């Protein structure tokens, strides 16, 4: 796994195989329902992996993010989703061979709801929006990736949300 930034390539250590101890789906998840608002699970692993420059823990937010967020606050997302660049060269079902990252602005709930109203899409409880900039978005295959915010005062990353397409 490599990250490309400012024309520099920085690659992580080799893959680490971890044994899952338990898979804990959200208690309200229903695989038969068209409503996939709770399509998330936790995976408990047997041992703590060694932390590196590419593998770290992330903090849970101390409070409801939306109550303290200002519109436009920059959030980060990363993932291996399908992009046109790789689709054209490797085929339509190929995920990105490199992890890509993107900065997206937080979008307040009211503005997001208004944007999606023509498609009869409504935000559910616990859902939020980020994005809205032309040609900047998460990709198919990025579902489950973290939506993160950075607290500059504390130098801490927080998980703000989870990508769901």
Question: What CATH number is attached to the domain comprising 152?
Answer: 2.40.10.10
Q: Report in angstroms the alpha-carbon separations of 123 from 11, 65, 87.
A: 37, 16, 30
Domain count, the chain: 2
Same domain (yes/no): 38, 108 = no
Together in a domain, 76 and 125: yes
139 close to 79: Cβ distance less than 8 angstroms: yes
pLDDT of residue 59: 92
Residue 85 and residue 38 share a domain: no
Q: What is the pLDDT of residue 95?
A: 74
C-alpha distances out from residue 33 to 29, 41, 75, 142, Å:
8, 16, 30, 21
Please report, in tens digits, the pLDDT of each residue of the chain (165 residues total).
Answer: 666 777 777 776 777 888 999 999 999 888 887 766 788 889 999 998 988 877 888 998 877 766 677 888 899 888 877 766 656 666 666 777 777 788 889 988 889 888 888 887 778 777 888 887 766 767 776 778 888 999 899 999 999 888 876
Regarding whether 155 and 117 lie in a shared domain, the answer is yes
Predicted TM-score of the model (pTM): 0.74
* pLDDT for 24: 95
Structure tokens at 156: 């801490």
Q: Are residues 76 and 44 in the same domain?
A: no
If asked whether residues 135 and 151 sit together in one domain, one would say yes
- Same structural domain for residues 83 and 148? yes
Structural domain containing residue 161 = 58-165
Q: Contact, 103 vs 78, CB < 8 A?
A: no
**Whole-number Å distance between alpha carbons of 92 and 87:** 5
Same-domain pairing of 127 and 79: yes
Q: Is the same domain home to 93 and 156?
A: yes
SS3 assignment, position 84: helix
């Amino acid at each position: 796994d490599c990250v490309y930034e400012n024309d520099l390539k920085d690659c992580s250590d080799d893959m680490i195989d971890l044994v899952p101890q338990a898979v804990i789906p959200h208690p309200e998840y229903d695989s038969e329902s068209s409503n996939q608002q709770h399509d998330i699970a936790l995976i408990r692993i047997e041992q703590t992996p060694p932390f590196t420059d590419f593998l770290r823990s992330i903090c849970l937010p101390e409070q409801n993010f939306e109550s303290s967020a200002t519109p436009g606050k920059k959030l980060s997302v990363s993932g291996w989703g399908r992009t046109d660049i790789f689709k054209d060269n490797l085929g339509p079902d190929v995920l990105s061979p490199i992890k890509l990252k993107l900065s997206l602005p937080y979008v307040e709930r009211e503005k997001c709801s208004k944007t999606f109203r023509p498609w009869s899409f409504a935000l559910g409880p616990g859902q939020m929006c980020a994005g809205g900039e032309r040609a900047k978005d998460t990709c198919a295959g990025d579902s489950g990736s973290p939506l993160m915010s950075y607290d500059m005062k504390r130098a801490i990353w927080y998980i703000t949300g989870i990508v769901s397409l």
